[in-house]
Structure 1
Amino acid sequence: MDGYTIDESLIRSLLRDQHPDLADLPIRPVAGGWDNQLWRLGDELAVRMPRTPRAPSLLRKEQLWLPLLTPRLPLPVPCPVRAGEPSERFPFPWGVTVWVPGEPRDRASIDRPRDAAERLAGFLRALHRPAPAGAPANPRRGVPLATVAPEFEERFRAIAPTGLATAEVRAAWQDAVAAPAWDGPAVWLHGDLHPANVVITDGTLAGVIDFGDLCAGDPAADLAAAWLLLPAKALPDFLRAYANADANAGLATMRRARGWALLHSLSLIDIGRAGERGLPGGQPTWGPAGRAALDRVLAFR
């Protein structure tokens, strides 16, 4: 946030004021993070400090809903354990969560593809339950694909100089948009399952992080993760594992999911180009992850 330097001294002082039992644990910064800056706290905890205007509301949402969802999820997630309130030292909410160990997928390979596919399918089956009436909505996640068509067009134009904006990309998007709409109940969604928001340990999926876009809607938005995260040879394993236990995984849903994967692939490529140029917000590892995901999307039939 403008005007505030987030460093070890600030975090330790906030802990001493509000959670003194945690204040003497070792603190060290963690690379990455988009809306929040992440700091490791001891061996088992992390501190999340907002650094974008939208971050405080996302933190509040996670603190409200994620503890209710965590008990049924089969993979580790950064469940909030303490809430930090605004104060004279730092006038925004912040939080302490469980630390989820592992290396982000955009920096680590999956060497056990079938196991990773089954873990991802099991996580999404457990998460994709009907959400209550008061669950948060997101105008850019879990909605009809036509709603995000302007974003697709923007990303499509942005990557045109790379040579990846082909008729095949356009045809795949149009097929997804034309698929029958979701007519089931709004289910819980992670909302942002791209390679920087899952972690890998021992060659397989080991945790899911950053629930800032948690919302309710069409499960296709999350099922895009199959193309974004898994090697191509693991896609049939994922589809089989998810569909065997979830009637939501019909052909129309998977067509829409492929459209979401296409959109996110283009976004990763576009944002990754900013990282390759050293611009703020970009991550150089995202471009290659996006290009690999795009290849998988276009190859899928």
Structure 2
Amino acid sequence: MHPIDDDLVRRLVAGQFPQWAELEVRRFPSGGTVNAMYRLGEDMAVRLPLVEGGADDVAREQRWLPRLAPRLPVPIPEALGDGVPAEGYPWRWSVYRWLAGENPEEGALSEPVLLAKDLAAFVAAMRGVALAGGPQAHRGGPLASLDAGTRAAIEELRGIPQEGVDCDAVSAVWEEALRAPEWDGPPVWLHADLMPGNLLVDGGRLTAVIDFGCLGVGDPACDLFPAWNLLPAEAREVFREALGVDDATWIRGRGRTLSQALIALPYYRETNPAMARNARHVIRAVLEEG
């Protein structure tokens, strides 16, 4: 993980975007694990990869976000500056227009049904994008590609009894997902990382979607994550109905969301409270639904 501090960000901005050199730079707290975020003045944000894998995401976003933005029902990040390696910092980075709003929190939604409809409208709009040449979305491949990592995480959780995960029950849900028919239609455009930390709300309604580093095309089940990582049961059904999700896609979506949570929980339980909390929420939501 590359060290980043306020002084480095100031030097990078001053060296490459002198028109913004006098603006205040301050770290913006985030539960994200791939990028560091800084406010630049009141109207912009600087986003810098913390790890090499995040550097690939920068290029992906800068290529595709301007093409996706006019096709989506809510704002998404708008790049105002494309930074290059300098000052000892090794990767590309970006300056974005600041998007206001707060991250929703599972179990504390003020308008869950309306938010479910907003999320469904966003996912449907992504699916309806007709742009050729899209990359494969991260996590967008066959569900079986997640099998080894998911089973390893379940076994790891068996060794952490204080987490209280019913490993036999989650294994049964995972097996059901593996038995579901794979997507046999054309790949669709996906955000592919619809975690609460990548959503912004105001007054309970969706106002923006951020962090498109995993975007691409693939199985539409990949964008069903909010059904279990955010929405309560009633709103979950509204989300499903609005999208017209068939049984096989729903089962794969539940399995994909569960897989991510099972892998995240042992990995983040001592280092990232927000990620670990959401993983626990997903596991509970999935088992309660079953």
**Shared fold by TM > 0.5?**
yes
Please name the residue that 1:76 is paired with. 75
Please name the residue that 2:96 is paired with. 97
Deviation at 1:205, TM superposition (A): 3.1
CA distance in 1, matches of 2:107, 2:202: 9
Aligned residue for 1:95, secondary structure, equals strand
- With 41-50 and 126-135 compared, the bigger mean Cα shift is at 126-135
Alignment of 1:148-163 (within 5 A): 148-160=146-158, 161=160, 162-163=163-164
Give CA-to-partner distance per residue, 1:83-126, whole Å, 9 cap, x none: 01223553421111122222323488211111110011011001
Please name the residue that 1:292 is paired with. 281
Deviation at 1:200, TM superposition (A): 3.1
- Which residue identity does 2:223 align to in structure 1? D
Deviation at 1:207, TM superposition (A): 2.3
Mind listing any 5+ residue stretches in structure 2 that lack a counterpart?
A: none
Please name the residue that 1:246 is paired with. none
The answer to whether the 8 A contact 2:264-2:275 is kept is: yes
The answer to whether the 8 A contact 1:27-1:40 is kept is: yes
Deviation at 1:210, TM superposition (A): 1.2
Q: Normalising by structure 2, report the TM-score.
A: 0.90
CA distance in 1, matches of 2:280, 2:97: 32
CA distance in 2, matches of 1:131, 1:91: 34
Deviation at 1:132, TM superposition (A): 4.5
CA distance in 1, matches of 2:233, 2:84: 44
Distance change in 2, residues 1:211/1:284 (3 Å)? same
- Which residue identity does 1:288 align to in structure 2? R
Q: Normalising by structure 1, report the TM-score.
A: 0.87
Please name the residue that 1:279 is paired with. none
Give CA-to-partner distance per residue, 1:265-286, whole Å, 9 cap, x none: 22342234122xxxxxxx1122
Please name the residue that 2:222 is paired with. 221
RMSD: 2.1
CA distance in 2, matches of 1:196, 1:108: 14
Please name the residue that 2:206 is paired with. 205
The answer to whether the 8 A contact 1:48-1:95 is kept is: yes
- Which residue identity does 2:287 align to in structure 1? L
Please name the residue that 2:7 is paired with. 9
1:258 has 2:247 as partner:
no
The answer to whether the 8 A contact 2:198-2:210 is kept is: yes
Count residues in correspondence.
Answer: 286
CA distance in 1, matches of 2:235, 2:40: 35
The answer to whether the 8 A contact 2:106-2:281 is kept is: no
Give CA-to-partner distance per residue, 1:114-160, whole Å, 9 cap, x none: 1110011011001113564521124x511111111011112212222
Deviation at 1:201, TM superposition (A): 2.5
Identity of aligned residues (%): 38
The answer to whether the 8 A contact 1:131-1:186 is kept is: no
Distance change in 2, residues 1:205/1:231 (3 Å)? farther
Alignment of 1:94-173 (within 5 A): 94-106=93-105, 109-129=108-128, 132-138=131-137, 140-160=138-158, 161=160, 162-173=163-174
